Structures are given as structure tokens and as C-alpha cells.
Chain A
Amino acid sequence: MTAASPIRIWDIPGGIHPQENKLQSLGHGIETPPLPRELIVPLQQHIGARAEPCVAVGDKVLKGQLIAEASGFVSCPLHAPTSGTVTAIGPAPYPHASGLEEWAIRIEADGEDRWCELDPISDFRALEPAALLDIIRASGISGLGGAGFPTAVKLKARPEQKIHTLIVNGTECEPYITADDSAMRYRAEQIVSGIEVLMHILRPEQVLIGIEDNKPEAIEAMRAAVGERPMQVVVFPTKYPSGGEKQLIQILTGKEVPSGGLPADLGMVCQNVGTLLAIHDAVVLGQPLIKRITTLTGDALSHPTNVEALIGTPIRELLTFAGLQPEKLYRLVMGGPMMGFTLQSMDAPIVKTTNCLLAGSKAELPPPPPAQPCIRCGLCAEACPASLLPQQLHFFALGKDYDQLKRQNLFDCIECGACSYVCPSSIPLVQYYRAAKSEIRALDLQQHKADHSRQRFEHRQERLQREAEQKERDRIARAEKAARLKAAKEAEAAKQADSDAAVPAADAPAPKAGGLTPEQKQLKIAAATAQMALKKAQKQLTANPDNADLQAQIPQLEQAAREAQEAFDKAQGEVSNQPAAPAPQAAGEDDAKKLKIEAAMLRAALKKAERAAGDNPSDQQQAEIAKLREQAEAAEARVPATAAAKKPVDETLKQAKLDLAMARAATRKTERALAESPDDADLQAQLATQQQALSAAEKALHEAENSSPIPPPERQRVDKKPVDEQLRELKTNLATTKADFKRAERELKDATEAGGDTAAAERELATRRAALDVAAKAFADYMASKETN
């Protein structure tokens, strides 16, 4: 296949022939503008997800260094266009029709323009296609023709499809733009090299380079660069919009990309010459995508030209380079006059897809006359390259009839603007279509969200329903158990006292599920609350055995609980014969455990009381102990004999554990006493011995554990955060000082009430407060220092 053999070309329907206006910017080749002071590199320069910055403010970066990573599948990394310092990462001016800001990395150039370490490939043919694709992706290459799709993703869009035709888009059909023309004229060799890289990756059967016939120099240059290679330079008549991907495919191959599909579905891939240039730079030179060729044109510029500009250069600087006359500037367009969008501010930077900046004067790009009504002349339908009926789309858009718009294939419109161009009534047709498309998309999204919300709501209702039913079932079960237990008790009571048998058991109404009267319910709740309070106090007592207040409280609580229970039972119509405070509410399967717990607690209480009483128990204490002993034994008796398999008890192990606990408790007590009176030598000595005992006990425990026949308990490894010893110490300190402070307060209160000498108490309080403040400050300082690290 030689380069000269003719290739058949087709024609696209419709199309227009606007004034080309390309000569203005072709007189100076490709110039290099001066290095800008500051560069703004937006994180979103292409279709897909925003890139994630991987530098921080204040970092020094080199030219070509990675500054943002691709996030997700459809995304591109970003590289620093020049060497300098990162000054900010945040919202910055962004080139968009809305004028809204977008996140960007600002770099202040240091003027040296120093490259980072590059990795050029001398022979790319030695690499695997996958490796080349990785290089392309890592170099941040996205389509430079206009849409900006990440190239690496585009090349792999349909992995199962074999690509048989590579189409190179050198068409540049839009008026004013000459960036691709200049690239082909002056960089033809590099472009062909880029094509060869792609050929190595895709291995297509044919390569077609499409160029319009209004670029004779570029055609010559490309033909010369191609030489004898298996690439075809295809020249076809100039028409707008032949440069669109779908239209170019139709011209060069006669095939149509299916609606909603990709060219890859046909086995074709289309790449812009600028992208190929970037691929060459990335693979052969190792340079990531940091610059592109942009056309600067328009009547408001005195020196229209093409420049190879760094991505992120503020537009103002480029236009100044091209001789901007601000008083003549009326409309600033990024892109060409047919598909470009207007910019409100010149502070925005250029991005990867900026192929042209058109600084138009009022005479050149006048405001359109006010729109007249549509006369259905049909010139728009004749111009449409997608064979749509723009007049129908217009009428349906006016009436907001979204169903008919979809039926008229609104989403096949490529927004080329040919219809608006020819409209005799100056109707802004493309704006109608854009607005309608975004409305339809927004409505679809809303509908989708509404469906989703509806599902969540329905699931939530179901869940609440389930929970309510479950509660209901549990309540019924509990009520039944209560009834059964009551029946059992009644049977007992009936056996005990025959006279009582006369009392109709029906008097104590077997509480049907929910058959309690409100007063009974109240009493039941009161009884339960009292029980809870008592249990809580008992638990606290086991934790703090020295707390005299608790010890005093418990009998009171027991009394209260007992009374409440009696009241409830009376209301139930039953004589309570359970004077014991912790009366088991209902017997049941898992009440065995409850009973055991109660028995254990009572035993503990008993032991506590005995210890508190010491060697000389007072009468009251003796009575207490006796009562507790009774209760403990009774509770023991209640525990069902068929106890669950008790854990095998190793006496030595148990003893070792107990010893350790006691040693620890003793040490702590001494430590606290020592804290109160640090100069007491006796206490110090005592502390020393106790610490020794503690370490001995620990050792004993370890030995016992190791030699124990019982397997060590399966510890559930909870990943606790590594304990910061210092923090723990500070916390403990804080807690103890707080406790001391509170005690001092109480003592003061007691002293004042007793009317005695408060001076000592006040002094005590002051000392304690000081200690507390010191501890608190130490703690706070520590926390603060931790945070700043």
C-alpha cells in the first residue's frame, strides 16, 4: 500500500462552509511564549474523575514531576509544567462557560525550568503494548482534540474488539483554529513517530490520516514524513463539521458509529494529531504531557499566532504575548467560533483541551440579532450532519416535551452549531438542545434518586415492622413465662396452705400477655427500677470495696427494692414470701445463669461485709453478716444443680490469680496513702515490700498458667491501640487527684455542717485543688503536643 494510491471517500449529509479565517494565525510558525510567573493546573481537565494531588503546599517540584495521581479508571495524572513551588491547592479560576471555580494546584515558577529525571525509550518496539499503555497513562495523556478523554482508557475501551483501522484526525474543520495545521507542518516527523507507537500497540490493518484540502502545506509535510510507511494520507473536501470523530469515520470509511456506541465497536480508533505528538513525547522523549500547541487569534490581537504553551498558563499571559488590545476585546472564546465557549475572566488557565483562544472584537463576533420565530424553512435540517430535524427538536424543546425529544434522537446531536449558523431567524438552537439535554439528564437523575429513596423508605418500614413484631413476640413470651411462674408459685402456695388453696388462683390473674392493669404496671416498673439500682450499687461495691458510702447505701436500696416488690406482689394478689432483696423475677432456662450470678454476688457481699467488719464486728455488722450469709446460702440453694459444664478449676492457678489481685490492691492502697503523705518512711518501706510481693505474685501467676492443665482462655484479640504509658499515667494521675479533690470537698461540707473547724478542711481542699490543676494541665499539655505532631 503506497501513500499515493487513492482511497475512496464518502460525503457526510448536511454541513456548512463558513468563512475559514485561518490565514491570520499561520504567519509565525509555532512560537514559544515566555515562562509565566504562576501556573494554575486544574485537577479536572478531562472527562472522568478529578485527579488527587500528591504534593503539599510549599513543596518544590521539578518540571514534569507528578503532582496529582489518577483516581479511578477514567482519570489522568497531572505533572508540573515547570519547576517551582506549590503555593496553593484549592479552588482557582477555571475555564468553563459558567465561570465557576474548580480545584487546582498553583505553582509559582522559579524561572529555571528544570526537568525532573526523564526516562526516554530508545526502542519502543521492544516493549509490550501493555507497558506502552502504562507509559501513556502515567504521562497524563488525554485527547487533545476537544473532548479530552483519557487516551489510555480510550485505547482499551473495548478490550474484546480487535482494532483494524487507526484514523488520525488532522482535519481541523473549525474556522480560525490552526493548531493542528501548524503541528502537521512543523512536527510531522514526531506525529508519524507517535502513529508508529500506536501501530505497535494496536496493530491495525490500515492507518488513515484524514486532512482537509484547505491545508496543502500540511498535506505535503505529512506525506513527506510518512514516506513509504503503511499509512495513508487521505485528502477530502473542506466542510464543517468533517472533523468530528463520527463524521470523519463516515467520510473515510462510509460506516456509522452506532448511536450510544463507540468507534471501537466498529473496530476503529480515532486520535487527534496533537495527541499523537504527545504520545511521541511521552514514549520517545520520556516527557509527560505538560504543553500543547494552541492557536491565539482574533481581531483584538495584534500578533495572532500559534504557540507551544505550558498547560496551566494563565490566558491573560498568552494573550498579552499575542498582543492583546483590551479595548477591542468583546468576546473571549476558548475553542473555535462554532463550538467554543465564552470565558468571563482572563485569569483562568489553559487546560489540556485548549486548542484555540479567540479574542474577538465586536465587529468580528457581533451579538446575534434577537431571535425571530421559527418559520420551519428546513435549512437547519439540510445542514445537520447527523440527519436530525432541528426544527422539530426546537419546537419540542420550547414545549419541554422530553419524551418526544428523546424520540427525535436529541442525544445524537453533536452540538456542532451548523443548524444555528444557517438559521434565518437567528434562533440559538444549540442552546435549546444543551438546556434540554441537561434538563433530561437532571430529571433522569432525580427519578433514579426518587426510586432509590423509595426503596430505602420501604426497607425501613419493613425493618420497623419486623422490630415491632419481634418486640411483640418477646413480650408475649415473657408474659407467658411470668404466667407460668406465677402458676407454679401459686401451686406451691396452695400446697403450703390449704386454706390458701381456697383463694382462687384466678385471683392472681395469670397475667395474660399484656394483662396487667396500669397500676400494676407502675408498681412492676418501680420494683424493677429499685432492683436495678440495688444491683448497680452492688456492682459498684465490688469494684470499690472501700467506699463506705456505698456500703451504707446498699441496705437502704435493699429495703426499697423489697418494699417495691411487695407492693407489686400485693397488687398482683399474692403474698410475697421472698424477703430477700434480689428476688429472682422469673425462673427460666437462662435464669440458671442469673441465679448463679446472684449467688456469687451475695457471696461476695458476704465476704466484703466480713472483711469490713474486721476482727471486732459491731452488733449491727454482725446482724448484717448473718443476714447476708442466709441470703447467700439461699441463693446457692436456688442455683439449679444441673449447672452448665463448669470450667475446670485449677486451684493453684486460682490461688495465684487471687494472690496477684490482692497484692496489686494492697500496693495501690499504699501508693495512694503515700501520695497523701509522701514523707512517711514507714509507708515507703511498706510500699517497697508490697511491690516486691506484687512482682513475686506475677511470677507465680505466670508459672501457674504455664503449668496449668487448663488451656489458656481463648482471648479474643481486640486490637487495642498501643497504650501510651505516659498518657495512661497522666490520666490516672488526673483521676486520682480529681477523686481526692472531691473527697476534700465533701469533708469540707461535712465540717461546715458539723460546725467545727473548717480551716483544716479548707486548707486540705486548697491543696487538693492545686494538685488537680497541675495534673489537668499536664494532661492537657500532653494531649496538645500529641495533636500537633
Chain B
Amino acid sequence: MSMIITAIVVLLGLALIFGAVLGFAAVRFKVDGDPIVDQINNLLPQTQCGQCGHPGCRPYAEGIANGEPINKCPPGGESTIQALADLLDVEALPLDAEHGEEKPRMVAYIREAECIGCTKCIQACPVDAILGAAKQMHTVIVDECTGCDLCVEPCPVDCIDMLPLPTTPQNWKWDFPLPSSALIATDANRGAA
């Protein structure tokens, strides 16, 4: 009997000691990390386009933190889904086609001859990438435009086009070589180019 009591006492004592140590460590060595919503938001492409169904990237980040699927962002594309999957330790799903498909980067272009200066697009742009004032001509600042598409709808004279960024020798890049099994027979002798 006394053995049992001794055992219980010893185990209790050990439990208390280790619990205290763990508790102390949890407080003393606490790492103040970024709140997860901020970390998720930093991975999103910040186009504020709304294609994910949320009115902006931060609301979607909050949604993801609450368990929404991570594959709803077309401008971010596969690389964003991968990054989110790495961050949150979930599986990287393919992009949900319901929300759009991954397209190359576009920028808005206003056909200035047709612009009537109504400022509707300026109010719609989430990053203030359109320069203009009432009854003055509007124009898009290409460097700031994220290609979110939100300005095209409000324009009453439909003078906004979405154009892909041109390829110049400065931003041209080599493709990754194809793996051998993907080479078609006629390409087989031309080297992996």
C-alpha cells in the first residue's frame, strides 16, 4: 500500500515540476510572431480585385485564417497557393476554376480620346493608380496598376482595355527545359531548348 502511495506522490511531484517548467518556458520564451492574418495577407498579391468573393485581399486573408480554402485567388496563381500551403501546412489544391483562371499580368489602359472625365474609374481603383480629376482626362499609371479589373465596369463609355505587359529584351526570360519524357519525338534531337 505504501508503495502505491509513494508512487502516486512521486508521479504527482514530477508532474507538478514538469508542468511548472513548461509553463515557465511558455511565458519566458514566448515568440511574438506575426498574427497569422498578416502573414497570409503578405502572401496575397494585393490586387484587391474581388475575384475570390471577398471585397479585397485582407478580408480573404481573414477568411483563410478561419478555414476557407486557399485556392480562390487567380492573380496569385499557383505560386501563391503553394506559399499559402507551406505557411499553413495544408495541402496545395489546384486553382478553383470557379473564381477565375490564372492569366498573365495585365494592366489597364484608358483610350484617352474617348474619356469623358467622369472619375468613376478613379473611385473604383483600390490603389489609386488612375490619375485625373473631374472633367479632366484620366490616365492609368502603369507602374501602380495591379490589373485587378475593377475599373473596367464603372466606365460609362467603356474606354478601358486590359492589355498584357509587353515583353522586352529586359524582361524576357529563358523557359525551364522540358523533362525528357515530355519531349515529343520531333524535338528529341534539337536539344532541350
Direct A–B touching, Cβ under 8 Å = yes
Interface residues in chain A, defined as those with a beta carbon under 8 Å from any beta carbon in chain B:
44, 94, 96-98, 100, 102, 367-373, 397-398, 427-428, 431-432, 434-436, 438-439, 442-443, 446, 449-454, 456-457, 460
Which residues from A are CB-within-8-Å of B173? Answer: 434-435, 438-439, 442
Whether A453 and B180, one on each chain, are in contact in the complex, defined by CB atoms closer than 8 angstroms, is: no
Q: Is B172 part of the contact surface with A, judged by Cβ < 8 Å?
A: yes
Which residues from A are CB-within-8-Å of B42? Answer: 451, 454
Distance (whole angstroms) from the CB of A461 to the closest CB of chain B:
9
Q: For chain B, which range describes its interface: under 10, 10 to 19, 20 to 34, or 35 or more residues?
A: 20 to 34
Q: Is B44 part of the contact surface with A, judged by Cβ < 8 Å?
A: yes
Distance (whole angstroms) from the CB of A430 to the closest CB of chain B:
9
Q: Of the 9-residue stretches B21-29, B108-116, B155-163, B182-190, which lies at the interface with chain A?
A: B182-190
Which residues from B are CB-within-8-Å of A96? Answer: 169, 172
List which B108-130 residues lie within 8 A (CB) of chain A.
Answer: 126-129
**CA A371 – CA B168 in complex, angstroms?**
30
Whether B128 and A435, one on each chain, are in contact in the complex, defined by CB atoms closer than 8 angstroms, is: no
Whether A428 and B192, one on each chain, are in contact in the complex, defined by CB atoms closer than 8 angstroms, is: yes
Using CB atoms, name the residue of chain A closest to B170: A44
Distance (whole angstroms) from the CB of B35 to the closest CB of chain A:
16
**CA A435 – CA B178 in complex, angstroms?**
12
Whether B191 and A100, one on each chain, are in contact in the complex, defined by CB atoms closer than 8 angstroms, is: no
Whether B146 and A449, one on each chain, are in contact in the complex, defined by CB atoms closer than 8 angstroms, is: yes
Distance (whole angstroms) from the CB of B193 to the closest CB of chain A:
8
**CA A373 – CA B183 in complex, angstroms?**
13
Using CB atoms, name the residue of chain B closest to A456: B127
Which residues from B are CB-within-8-Å of A439? Answer: 173
Using CB atoms, name the residue of chain B closest to A463: B128
**CA A473 – CA B8 in complex, angstroms?**
69
Whether B48 and A457, one on each chain, are in contact in the complex, defined by CB atoms closer than 8 angstroms, is: yes
**CA A367 – CA B187 in complex, angstroms?**
11
15 cross-chain CB contacts under 8 A: A100-B172, A369-B191, A370-B189, A428-B192, A431-B193, A432-B176, A435-B175, A438-B173, A438-B174, A446-B45, A451-B46, A456-B127, A456-B128, A456-B129, A457-B57
* A100 with B168, Cβ < 8 A, contacts A454-B57, A457-B126 known: yes
Which residues from B are CB-within-8-Å of A369? Answer: 189, 191
* A428 with B172, Cβ < 8 A, contacts A450-B46, A453-B47, A453-B127 known: no
Whether B144 and A371, one on each chain, are in contact in the complex, defined by CB atoms closer than 8 angstroms, is: no
Whether A371 and B177, one on each chain, are in contact in the complex, defined by CB atoms closer than 8 angstroms, is: yes
Interface of B is mostly: loop
Whether B174 and A456, one on each chain, are in contact in the complex, defined by CB atoms closer than 8 angstroms, is: no
Which residues from B are CB-within-8-Å of A452? Answer: 144
Q: Is B167 part of the contact surface with A, judged by Cβ < 8 Å?
A: yes
**CA A10 – CA B193 in complex, angstroms?**
37
Please name 6 further chain A to chain B contacts, defined as beta carbons within 8 Å, in addition to the given A98-B167, A102-B168, A450-B146, sorted by A numbering.
Answer: A98-B169, A428-B193, A435-B177, A436-B176, A449-B146, A452-B144
Which residues from B are CB-within-8-Å of A427? Answer: 192
Whether A431 and B128, one on each chain, are in contact in the complex, defined by CB atoms closer than 8 angstroms, is: no
Whether A450 and B44, one on each chain, are in contact in the complex, defined by CB atoms closer than 8 angstroms, is: yes
Whether B172 and A98, one on each chain, are in contact in the complex, defined by CB atoms closer than 8 angstroms, is: yes
**CA A98 – CA B172 in complex, angstroms?**
7
Which residues from A are CB-within-8-Å of B168? Answer: 100, 102
Whether B191 and A453, one on each chain, are in contact in the complex, defined by CB atoms closer than 8 angstroms, is: no
Which residues from A are CB-within-8-Å of B167? Answer: 98, 100
Whether A460 and B126, one on each chain, are in contact in the complex, defined by CB atoms closer than 8 angstroms, is: yes
Distance (whole angstroms) from the CB of A507 to the closest CB of chain B:
41
Which residues from A are CB-within-8-Å of B136? Answer: none
**CA A98 – CA B44 in complex, angstroms?**
31
Contact of A454 among B41, B79, B129, B179 (CB under 8 A): B41
Whether B175 and A453, one on each chain, are in contact in the complex, defined by CB atoms closer than 8 angstroms, is: no
Whether B192 and A370, one on each chain, are in contact in the complex, defined by CB atoms closer than 8 angstroms, is: yes
Using CB atoms, name the residue of chain B closest to A100: B169
Whether B127 and A94, one on each chain, are in contact in the complex, defined by CB atoms closer than 8 angstroms, is: no
Q: Is B56 part of the contact surface with A, judged by Cβ < 8 Å?
A: yes
Which residues from B are CB-within-8-Å of A451? Answer: 42, 46
Whether B127 and A443, one on each chain, are in contact in the complex, defined by CB atoms closer than 8 angstroms, is: no
Distance (whole angstroms) from the CB of B80 to the closest CB of chain A:
9
Whether A373 and B46, one on each chain, are in contact in the complex, defined by CB atoms closer than 8 angstroms, is: no
Contact of B192 among A371, A434, A436, A453 (CB under 8 A): A371
